[in-house]
Amino acid sequence: MTRVLRTYCHIVTTVNRWLMIGCAALMFIVVPVLCFEVVMRYFFDAPTVWALELSSLLFGPYFMLAGPYLLHIGGHVNVDVLYAWLPPRVAAAVDIVTYPIIFFFALTILYHSWPVAMNAFGMRETSFTPWNPEIWPFKFVVPVAMGLLFLQALAEFLRAWARALGRAEALQ
């Protein structure tokens, strides 16, 4: 059974790592677009109708899809002052208690965001701005990100369980 769990943890973490790398690459689009907008607006007094909206649409996936991998590397807010002083097994026990809270959060947001995304898809929703791009694909980022967050939290929960049992190497 440990081999199956190790494989699960490895696959989920690898998928989330590659998504985070891909989303980080979006900044190579967002930054030049925003620089272009600033130059056009302040040097030529000719703001664009699309640059700010495009950067907002791309920043959403960057923010949401990088979150699951940040959970793995410990990039989220943590009370390190207390956590760092805990023995490894006690820290693992704290993680075992906190990861179910993340499960609940991710599943709640997933449950409520899926119908919104499906409704946007059904209506072929657009932004109703002068540029008016289709935004329904971006609405699916929230349920997908929450599903991935749940899967990563489950992997981290299993790793914490192994640490609590003194078998940290079992699921690494």
If you compute the radius of gyration of the chain from its CA atoms, what whole number of angstroms results? 20
83-121 tens-digit pLDDT: 778 888 888 888 899 999 999 999 999 999 999 999 999
Partnered with residue 134 across adjacent β-strands are 126
DSSP state of 166: T
- Domains in the chain, number: 1
**CA 157, CA 161: separation in Å to the nearest integer?**
6
**Those residues with Cβ within 8 angstroms of residue 50's Cβ, 6 or more apart along the chain or in another chain:** 131, 133
**Domain enclosing residue 72, as ranges:** 2-171
pLDDT at 171: 60
6-53 tens-digit pLDDT: 999 999 999 999 999 999 999 999 999 999 999 999 999 999 999 999
pLDDT at 169: 65
Q: Is the confidence at residue 168, as pLDDT, over 70?
A: no
Tokens of 75: 């990039």
Give this prediction's pTM: 0.88
**CA 9, CA 13: separation in Å to the nearest integer?**
6
**CA 121, CA 105: separation in Å to the nearest integer?**
24
97-106 tens-digit pLDDT: 999 999 999 9
